């Protein structure tokens, strides 16, 4: 028993998010919210008024039947006080019907507008909060599931607004109907309500079960979405066709979808079976009350108008109570999904600016220093870096060399404070990176990664993202594109810098991999940062384009602190110093000439690669 009470409390506890939801709705549009509530209140009072008018009309008809037959003409009808009153009552009922339709449509309109405004505001808030989270939180699969659930609720819960407003309207309607019925037979209202309570508990149980199933299956649903993307995406179409992957992907999708469908079918079947059983109790209670009303009318306790009023009121009460209970279960069920949305905002980044940040030095005088740094990715006991110490002096170009998994990209993420070390410190001009304001620090760094983003924006915007605050500075965008050697690529496009890139949207042009890389390199120059980080900046370029990029790069990196990652030793050799990494530790440190003279790991790798070009 205590377990059931606990589960009921948990379901009702989900309603705690409703005040937060309505605060956000009110912030989106206070006027529309007030208008919608006013319309709902008016609509809530119409049923009892309509039933009362119907009662008066029927009683008036019975009274008129005892009189001589009326004259045929309208004038004669309206000249008679009793029959004129009947006509007025019928006109009033017509007016209520028209008013009911009008208020319903206006309420639906206002709630649709509110829903759209709220969804837009919630989407902005979601994106802003996601941007504040740590990179490690994005890379955690459990957090990805939470983000996916939160993203689904942005638009998925807008229907809850109308549901809650409808329930408020239903409460007012039920209160007015109950007051009206209580004048005649108050105990029959209790009978109908008691008959419907089991249906409420049943709906609560299955709503909770549905949410629990959806929560548990979040990873599978995310995998299904990914398989749908693989099987029907322009980005994957070439390899899916060439490797004949369609059947394989479809089979994987079908197997996952089949399991989810089977679980949903089992739950839906049980819900329908038990729902029918408990709903039958409510039906029996209603007809028991109806029989009592008929019996008392025959006995002379009620008039025909009273019978019509009570029959209509009980019919509405039965449907209203049933709808209210069902609506409450739907609200509590949807409110549980609100937990996915609002709990996402409870996630707090661990990498934050200090309360009293130190100004980032400009210009940088000493450079970056790693002191006995160690970093381990979440969920693993293996250290990506351990005991790592080195310096990158201001104005120096340093290359990082090593095999896959050596820790090169992890070092870059620590330099940009996308990660914080678990051991040791990363210093900039003698102070830990954590001492500086995070946005100010990152504004001094330009980083282009091998897996750079190909934004489905215009060519000019793809360059401007390097310093988005200067997106309106066309001269700066053109200068950055020229430095990154993307200007000839962009100028050949039909619409130049206004040309949409990518194939996601109509009219887009998809450049080659090397052309995209030049656009991405231009972002680094757009930023004009003191620290320049290039992770495999020429991976998609041919030999001549690579030579041109680095001829320009040597010129433009002068005076900047530069970190370069590349597997091409023809690129690496131009660096002032080369750090050779292996297993997250520093193996060798020196210039190209010095390392070749040592005959160590770097010399071995350089010789092996050079032989491949002979």
Q: Which of 117-121, 288-292, 464-468, 599-603 has the lowest mean pLDDT?
A: 288-292
Residue 3 in domain: no
Q: Which of 443, 196, 470 lies closest to 318, judged by CA?
A: 196
CA end-to-end distance (rounded Å), the chain? 81
Give the pLDDT score at 492. 92
Task: Give the side-chain half-sphere CA count within 13 A for 135.
Answer: 10
In the predicted structure, residue 483 carries a pLDDT above the cut 80 = yes
Query: Where residue 373 falls among pLDDT bands split at 50, 70, 90?
Result: very high
Answer with the residue of higher pLDDT: 1 or 58: 58
Residue 350 in domain: no
Give the pLDDT score at 4. 42
**113 & 100 share domain:** yes
Q: Which of 330, 316, 290, 285 lies closest to 165, judged by CA?
A: 330
Query: Where residue 39 falls among pLDDT bands split at 50, 70, 90?
Result: very high
**280 & 166 share domain:** yes
Tell me what the mean pLDDT of segment 178-195 comes to.
70
Q: Which residue is associated with the tokens 């309109």? A: 109
In the predicted structure, residue 291 carries a pLDDT above the cut 70 = yes
Tell me what the mean pLDDT of segment 543-556 comes to.
66
Q: Which of 173, 153, 199 lies closest to 41, judged by CA?
A: 173
Give the pLDDT score at 24. 79
Over the Cα atoms of the chain, what is R_g? 36
Tell me what the mean pLDDT of segment 283-299 comes to.
73
Residues whose CB falls within 8 Å of the CB of residue 340, separated by 6 or more in sequence, listed in order: 146, 149, 150, 152, 153, 215
Render 34-91 in DSSP notation, one character per residue. HHHHHHHHHHHHHHHHHHHHHHHHHHHHHHHHTSPPPPSSHHHHHHSHHHHHHHHHHH
In the predicted structure, residue 390 carries a pLDDT above the cut 90 = yes
Which CATH number goes with the domain that contains 59?
A: 1.20.1560.10
What residues make up the domain containing 495? 452-528
In the predicted structure, residue 546 carries a pLDDT above the cut 50 = yes
Give the pLDDT score at 1. 38
Tell me what the mean pLDDT of segment 273-286 comes to.
70
Give the pLDDT score at 514. 80
Give the pLDDT score at 594. 92
Burial of 581 (0-12, 13-18, 19+ CB in 10 A): buried
Alpha-carbon gap, residue 111 to 122, rounded angstroms: 16
Answer with the residue of higher pLDDT: 374 or 333: 374
Tell me what the mean pLDDT of segment 345-373 comes to.
88
Give the pLDDT score at 192. 64
Give the pLDDT score at 69. 61
Give the pLDDT score at 547. 65
**295 & 244 share domain:** yes
Q: Which residue is associated with the tokens 């790592």? A: 388
Render 126-152 in DSSP notation, one character per residue. HHHHHHHS-HHHHH-HHHHHHHHHHHH
**480 & 550 share domain:** no
Give the pLDDT score at 2. 40
Alpha-carbon gap, residue 338 to 348, rounded angstroms: 18
**460 & 573 share domain:** no
In the predicted structure, residue 480 carries a pLDDT above the cut 70 = yes
Query: Where residue 304 falls among pLDDT bands split at 50, 70, 90?
Result: confident
Give the pLDDT score at 436. 93
Number of structural domains (the chain) is 3
Alpha-carbon gap, residue 294 to 521, rounded angstroms: 85
Tell me what the mean pLDDT of segment 515-521 comes to.
86
User: 528, 554, 572 — which closes off a domain?
Assistant: 528
Alpha-carbon gap, residue 573 to 555, rounded angstroms: 15
Tokens of 441: 């620090």
Query: Where residue 428 falls among pLDDT bands split at 50, 70, 90?
Result: very high
**244 & 392 share domain:** no
Residue 352 in domain: no
Which CATH number goes with the domain that contains 508?
A: 3.40.50.300
Task: Give the mean pLDDT of the chain.
Answer: 79
- Which phi and psi (to 5°) does residue 535 adopt? -100, 105
Answer with the residue of higher pLDDT: 405 or 244: 405
Residue length, the chain? 614
* Whole-number percent of the chain with pLDDT over 70: 77
- Identify the three-state secondary structure at position 409: helix
Tokens of 347: 């996630």
Per the CB < 8 A criterion, the answer to whether 414 and 375 are in contact is yes
Give the pLDDT score at 7. 45
Render 437-472 in DSSP notation, one character per residue. -HHHHHHTEEEE-TT----SSBHHHHHHGGGGGGTT
Alpha-carbon gap, residue 573 to 397, rounded angstroms: 11
**384 & 334 share domain:** no
Per the CB < 8 A criterion, the answer to whether 51 and 313 are in contact is yes
Residue 417 in domain: yes
**434 & 460 share domain:** no
Distance (Å) of CA 589 to CA 230, 397, 454, 534, 599: 43, 13, 34, 19, 13
Answer with the residue of higher pLDDT: 219 or 605: 605
**181 & 272 share domain:** yes
pLDDT digits 0-9 by tens, 74-87 = 666 666 777 778 78
The residues facing 458 across adjacent strands are 500
Burial of 468 (0-12, 13-18, 19+ CB in 10 A): exposed
Answer with the residue of higher pLDDT: 235 or 604: 604
In the predicted structure, residue 199 carries a pLDDT above the cut 70 = no
In the predicted structure, residue 176 carries a pLDDT above the cut 70 = yes
Tell me what the mean pLDDT of segment 471-478 comes to.
91
Tell me what the mean pLDDT of segment 229-254 comes to.
70
Give the pLDDT score at 81. 72
**189 & 306 share domain:** yes
Task: Give the side-chain half-sphere CA count within 13 A for 580.
Answer: 20
Residue 506 in domain: yes
Q: Which of 518, 461, 520 lies closest to 495, judged by CA?
A: 461
User: 284, 312, 344 — which closes off a domain?
Assistant: 344
Query: Where residue 11 falls among pLDDT bands split at 50, 70, 90?
Result: very low
Residue 5 in domain: no
Alpha-carbon gap, residue 490 to 473, rounded angstroms: 16
Residue 309 in domain: yes
372: left (phi over 0), alpha (psi -120 to 50) or beta: left
Tokens of 490: 């962009």
Query: Where residue 274 falls among pLDDT bands split at 50, 70, 90?
Result: confident
Tell me what the mean pLDDT of segment 279-298 comes to.
72
Residue 354 in domain: no
Query: Where residue 468 falls among pLDDT bands split at 50, 70, 90?
Result: confident
Q: Which residues of 386-399 are buried (b: 16+ CB within 10 A; e: fewer)?
A: bebebbbbbbbbbb
Q: Which residue is associated with the tokens 């009620």? A: 302
- Identity of the highest mean pLDDT range in 71-75, 105-109, 200-204, 422-426: 422-426
Tokens of 466: 């390097």
**486 & 549 share domain:** no
**492 & 612 share domain:** no
Tell me what the mean pLDDT of segment 22-45 comes to.
86
Alpha-carbon gap, residue 175 to 47, rounded angstroms: 11
Query: Where residue 387 falls among pLDDT bands split at 50, 70, 90?
Result: very high
pLDDT digits 0-9 by tens, 114-152 = 888 888 888 888 788 887 878 877 777 677 777 777 776
- Which phi and psi (to 5°) does residue 401 adopt? -130, 140
In the predicted structure, residue 216 carries a pLDDT above the cut 80 = no
Alpha-carbon gap, residue 373 to 581, rounded angstroms: 14
Count of C-beta atoms within a 10 Å radius of residue 426: 22
Burial of 449 (0-12, 13-18, 19+ CB in 10 A): middle
């Amino acid at each position: 028993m205590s377990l059931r009470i606990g589960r009921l409390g948990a379901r009702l506890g989900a309603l705690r998010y409703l005040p937060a939801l309505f605060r956000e709705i009110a912030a989106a549009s206070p006027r529309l919210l007030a208008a919608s509530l006013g319309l709902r209140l008016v609509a809530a009072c119409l049923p009892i008024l309509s039933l009362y008018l119907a009662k008066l009309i029927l009683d008036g008809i019975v009274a008129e039947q005892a009189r001589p037959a009326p004259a045929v003409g309208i004038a004669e009808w309206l000249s008679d006080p009793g029959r004129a009153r009947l006509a007025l009552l019928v006109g009033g009922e017509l007016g209520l019907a028209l008013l009911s339709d009008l208020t319903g449509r206006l309420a639906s309109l206002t709630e649709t507008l509110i829903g759209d405004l709220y969804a837009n505001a919630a989407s902005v808030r979601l994106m802003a909060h996601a941007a504040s989270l740590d990179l490690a939180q994005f890379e955690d699969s459990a957090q990805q599931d939470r983000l996916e659930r939160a993203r689904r609720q942005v638009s998925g819960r807008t229907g809850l607004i109308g549901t809650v407003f409808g329930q408020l309207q239903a409460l007012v309607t039920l209160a007015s109907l109950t007051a009206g019925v209580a004048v005649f037979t108050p105990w029959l209202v209790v009978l109908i309500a008691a008959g419907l309570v089991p249906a409420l508990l049943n709906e609560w149980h299955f709503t909770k079960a549905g949410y629990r199933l959806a929560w548990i299956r979040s990873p599978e649903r995310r995998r299904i979405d990914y398989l749908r993307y693989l099987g029907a995406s322009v980005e994957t179409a070439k390899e899916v066709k060439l490797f004949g992957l369609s059947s394989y992907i479809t089979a994987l999708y079908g197997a996952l979808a089949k399991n989810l469908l089977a679980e949903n079918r089992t739950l839906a079947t049980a819900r329908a079976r038990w729902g029918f059983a408990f709903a039958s109790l409510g039906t029996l209670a209603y007809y028991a009350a109806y029989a009592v009303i008929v019996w008392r009318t025959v006995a002379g306790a009620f008039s025909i108008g009273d019978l019509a009023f009570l029959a209509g009121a009980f019919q509405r009460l039965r449907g209203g109570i049933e709808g209210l209970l069902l609506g409450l279960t739907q609200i509590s069920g949807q409110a549980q999904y609100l937990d996915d949305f609002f709990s996402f905002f409870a996630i707090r980044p661990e990498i934050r600016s200090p309360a009293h940040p130190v100004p980032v030095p400009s210009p940088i005088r000493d450079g970056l220093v790693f002191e006995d740094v160690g970093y381990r990715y979440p969920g693993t006991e293996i250290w990506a870096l351990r005991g790592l110490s080195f310096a990158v002096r201001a104005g120096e170009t340093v290359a990082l060399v090593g095999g896959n998994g050596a820790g090169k990209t992890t070092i870059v993420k620590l330099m940009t404070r996308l990660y914080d070390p678990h051991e040791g410190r990363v210093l900039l001009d003698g102070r830990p990176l954590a001492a500086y304001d995070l946005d100010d620090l990152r504004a001094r760094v330009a980083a282009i990664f091998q897996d750079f983003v190909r934004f489905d924006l215009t060519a000019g915007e793809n360059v401007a993202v390097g310093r988005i605050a200067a997106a309106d500075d066309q001269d700066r965008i053109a200068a950055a594109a020229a430095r990154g050697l993307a200007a000839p690529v962009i100028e050949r496009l039909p619409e130049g810098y206004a040309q949409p890139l990518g194939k996601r949207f109509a009219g887009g042009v998809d450049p080659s991999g090397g052309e995209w890389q030049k656009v991405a390199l231009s972002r680094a120059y757009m930023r004009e940062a003191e620290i320049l980080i290039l992770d495999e900046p020429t991976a998609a370029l041919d030999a001549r384009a690579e030579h041109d990029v680095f001829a320009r790069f040597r010129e433009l990196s002068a005076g900047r602190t530069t970190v370069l990652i590349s597997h091409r030793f023809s690129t690496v050799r131009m660096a002032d110093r080369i750090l050779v990494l292996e297993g997250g530790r520093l193996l060798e440190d020196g210039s190209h000439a010095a390392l070749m003279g040592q005959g160590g790991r770097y010399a071995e790798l350089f010789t092996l690669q050079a032989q491949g070009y002979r």
